[in-house]
Amino acid sequence: MKQKKIYLAFLLILIAATLSACSGGAGLTSSWPGLAVDLEHELVYVANGQQVFAVSLTNGTEKWRYPAEPQNPPGFYAAPALAPDGQLILGNYNKSLHSINADTGIENQGSWPFLQATNRYIASPLAVESGVYAPASDGVLYALDLTGNLRWSFTTEQSLWSTPLTDGKNIYQPSMDRRIYAIDKDTGDEVWKTDDLGGAIVGKPALGEDGILYVGTFASEMLAIETSSGQVKWRAAVSDWVWGGPALNGDTVYFGDLDGFFYALDSTTGNERWKIEGDGDNDTSITDPPLILDGTVYYTSKNGTLYAVDAETGNPRWNQPVGGNLYGSPLYGAELILVAPLNADALLYAVAPNGAIKWTFTPAK
């Protein structure tokens, strides 16, 4: 319990630091690494403070790094976003948005970088055919075309720490002002906004084929919201804050909370199917969505362990300690589970579906 309180204090300090940056304070300039997988180029991208690394999925060797020399102060933590045209979009704690050639690591020119945000990018942008949608801590969602020109902007009441998503018609943007906004993707006009949901939202929602959004909040709840109206369909109370978003697989919603509890809920009713209790003595806080693959759920915890459990029952299959602290989601590529711990011996670990570590990556000096 003591460790839990220390961790929550850290999160509150992080929030306060970001808010102070809005009013001119220096703010906090650290976080955990952000990951993205590029199957076409057989690469995984790791945003780790001063630089972003492109690493081969095959053997864990470095292909390129951006920038070539470390940036000071450090700024790259949000997961890179791969656009349909092959460019890699990088948000920066230094309030800039960059476009990189995913094959070479060279920065694209034209209207890039985008410099109009007045506070840092904590969340990863959404990059789709219609453009780039970049949420910033100044409370503004910036919509750019793929060449970096601003198309429109949409302002909320507090910081945006959550990556938006789209159904092809609207952009759905959660905010720390405790609401979700539906925004026309072409015009930037508000379609609807939810009522106050009771807690700040920093995790990316999941969207079902039936048009239902699933989102967790700092009110220790998971909610289902109708995209047709913004109305809440159901609420499910959980043990603690839901920091990361959920993952949806079939008719089940999977997610964890800061108490280290992991849940599987019925997506139609919100009823609990199973849960795994956290271990307060081991600090199993969960801060990002799980990965669901071939009947197995993979999730990470602050204690530096990657867990694999049966998707139907929650029964454990294996766990693999990698050391340090695991805050980010596991990703999948080239038949490997990829995790990037903070404060570990290596920056990136590639784990086989049976739990064996296949390779690790540590940047050369």
Alpha helices in the chain (DSSP H): 2-22
Any idea which of 7-16, 136-145, 280-289 has the lowest mean pLDDT?
7-16
How many other C-beta atoms can be found within 10 angstroms of the C-beta atom of residue 13? 11
* Per-residue pLDDT at 140: 98
Express each pLDDT in 340-361 by its tens digit.
999 999 999 999 999 999 999 9
Whether residue 196 has pLDDT greater than 70: yes
- Under DSSP, is residue 52 helix (H, G, I), strand (E, B) or coil? strand
Q: How far apart are CA 220 and CA 237, in angstroms?
A: 6
pLDDT at residue 254 tops 70? yes
Q: What is the pLDDT of residues 185-194, one digit of tens each?
A: 999 999 999 9
Q: Please determine, for residue 280, whether its predicted confidence score (pLDDT) is greater than 90.
A: no
Domain definitions of the chain by residue range = 2-281
CA distances from 100 to 145, 201, 307, 357 (A): 15, 29, 33, 30
Distance CA 115, CA 69 (A): 21
Res 363 pLDDT > 80: yes
Using 50, 70 and 90 to split pLDDT, how confident is the model at 14? low
Superfamily of domain 2-281: YVTN repeat-like/Quinoprotein amine dehydrogenase (2.130.10.10)
Which pLDDT band, with edges at 50, 70 and 90, does 2 fall under?
A: very low
Cross-strand partners of 105: none
**Cα of 150 vs its chain's centroid, Å:** 23
**Cα–Cα dist 286/327, whole Å:** 7
User: Can you spell out the DSSP letters for 77-142?
Assistant: -SPPEE-TTSEEEEE-TTS-EEEEETTT-PBP-TTPSB---SS---SPPEEETTEEEEE-TTSEEE
Mean pLDDT calculated for residue range 252-276? 97
pLDDT in tens, 201-225: 999 999 999 999 999 999 999 999 9
Which distant-in-sequence residues (6+ apart) come within 8 Å of 350 by Cβ?
Answer: 57, 60, 336, 337, 338, 357, 358, 359, 360, 361
Banded model confidence at residue 281, pLDDT cuts 50, 70, 90 = confident
CB 176 within 8 A of CB 158: yes
Instruction: Inform me whether the pLDDT recorded for 17 exceeds 70.
Output: no
pLDDT of residue 72: 78
Dist. CA 189–CA 329, nearest whole Å: 32
Taking only the tens place, the pLDDT of each residue in 268-277 is: 999 999 999 9
pLDDT for res 278: 92
Work out the average pLDDT over 245-263: 97
Average pLDDT for the chain: 92
Contact call for residues 288 and 340 (beta carbons, < 8 A): no
Residue 218 tokens read as: 């700092």
31 pLDDT more than 90:
no
H or E segment and range at residue 171: strand 170-174
* Identity at 175, one-letter amino acid code: S
Render pLDDT for 63-109 as a digit per residue (tens, 0 to 9): 999 999 887 776 899 999 999 999 999 999 999 999 999 999 999 98
Share of the chain above pLDDT 90, in %: 87
